[in-house]
Structure 1
Amino acid sequence: MRAVKLFLINSLLSLAGSLSLRMAQKLGSSLGWLLWKLPTKARDVTDINLSICFPEYSEQQRAELAQTSLQQTGMTILEIPLMWERPVEECLNLIQQVEGEELINQAQQDGRGLILLAPHLGNWELAGLYFSSRYKMAALYSPPNIAEFEDYMIKVRGRLGSELVRGDRRGLARLASILREGGIAGILPDQSPRGKGNAFAPFFGMEVKTMTLVSKLMQRTGARVLMTYAERLPNAEGFRIIIREAQPGLDDKDPVTATTALNASVEQCVRALPEQYQWEYKRMRHRPPGIENPYKPGQIC
């Protein structure tokens, strides 16, 4: 059964990967519109997140942002097979502009490692492909639910030499080693972490569990941090890579101070491009004990 599922997934990826960017975005936008129009979980979660994060918006403004956001998410879903299946040069040619690359050059002048934090904003797969085409890089990942799909994912994400590192103890030790050698590590910083060793910090004004991994890596290796994302340009014109400074305090030894700076860094990027953020993800699900889960009214965390 797993083999059949894997075959179907690979076939769909190959088919979607053969689409032009314009067609992928057109179909993805239609998919997103359906997710918004129908009574889907994606629509429900998006509405909840936007009501939490943009209380100053009117209901009409949040409804319009929800629709646009889900359409942008649909585009991302259909674009990712392009990034995985098409020749690398063809994908890189979609990048029309890079803003802030001098920050990377400045960060690497003294030979220290660099952590690139890429929120789920725009097309993060293209951002990863771009940086792995230019720098010695490693990227943290979580294995997929279908074990057989992991080899494919490692192959396509690492085809330019980027090293894929699992988010377990051995993988994190390898990531620290790469940073000590002056390499670059890519991390998705806006996931809702499980387990102990994390901290609660505000994200759009709501206290949520936040990873302490970034601050620990900075303290252990002396690495610097920058934010990045690939902004989708209108009318299938391609993408713009954005590189920004992170908020100060990410390396603070106090976990609350460090994670507050991390969330503020992500929030700054999201506010610059809110329609391209992955609002259908339950980022606020892990809250301090005794507080209600916003996605399940009446359920206490």
Structure 2
Amino acid sequence: MIKNLHKAHAALLGANLIYGANFLIAKGIMPAKIGPSAFVLLRVIGAGLLFLFIKSFIKEKVDKKDFKLFILCGLLGVSANMLLFFHGLSLTSPIDASIIMTSTPVIVLILSAFILKEKITANKYIGIFIGAIGAFILIWFGKKSGGTSSFTGNLFVFLNATSYATYLVLVKPLMKKYKAITVISWIFFFGFLFVFPFGIKDLLITNFDVWNLNTFLSIAFVIIGTTFLTYLFNIYALNYVSPSVSGSYIYLQPVLSFIMVSIYAFSLGHKEYAEDINLIKIASCFLVILGVFMISKKSKTKLI
């Protein structure tokens, strides 16, 4: 049991290391080598085929009445989520994006209260307030910040976090009813249908002549690493640890992003990232993480 627990934490660490690296790796080839929508289309097709390959070994029927929810989850969890994130990331700092994404548990809690009627404790109310302040400061600061930050990019990433959080709430009944690989395979299928009209236009005007080995490796990393492996790592870990423990690993993402951007800016000569690191962003990061910590903390006082 202890051995499995260690493996679960190793899987969660691996998943979040990949997530942390993704902010910088994906941004590194957008939009110079490939547009955000085209990148998302390749990501959905590549990862979707890998999931379908695994699904081919597992036979499970889906009730027709559940397809409406599968379609909605495909729209929010794949199409809107990925398009908003990649377009936002192409316009803003990797650090800003990683900090804003840590607000996802805050949004999940709020939506769970309205949609699933889950209870909200006093600690969670405080956490929502603190986390919201941190996210607001960071999004608004992007309007005036130097470096690669931007208000529009930060807003897109926040909308992405909201879309993904809504998906996490809506997908819960499906995850309880069907095997995880069945759910994700159908969600990626419907997500592909929504992404295709946007991505194909972007892909057809992509100049493949400027692609190099780094471009192919970056795209492979996002498809195999950020999408396929991280999903499998998280599913494996959830067999041995609670969702709250799994969710707490999201704290690592802005830390890893700070480290990687610092290396890029000060060691590898990418001066455009130098202004992405400042006290306001560090303070915003602290507020968001503190907010999520308060949400995760148990309390005996329930307000609603």
Please, what TM-score do these two structures have when normalized by structure 1? 0.28
**Greater percentage in helix:** 2
Which structure has more relative contact order (CA 8 Å, sep 6+)? It is 2
| Structure with greater strand share of residues | 1
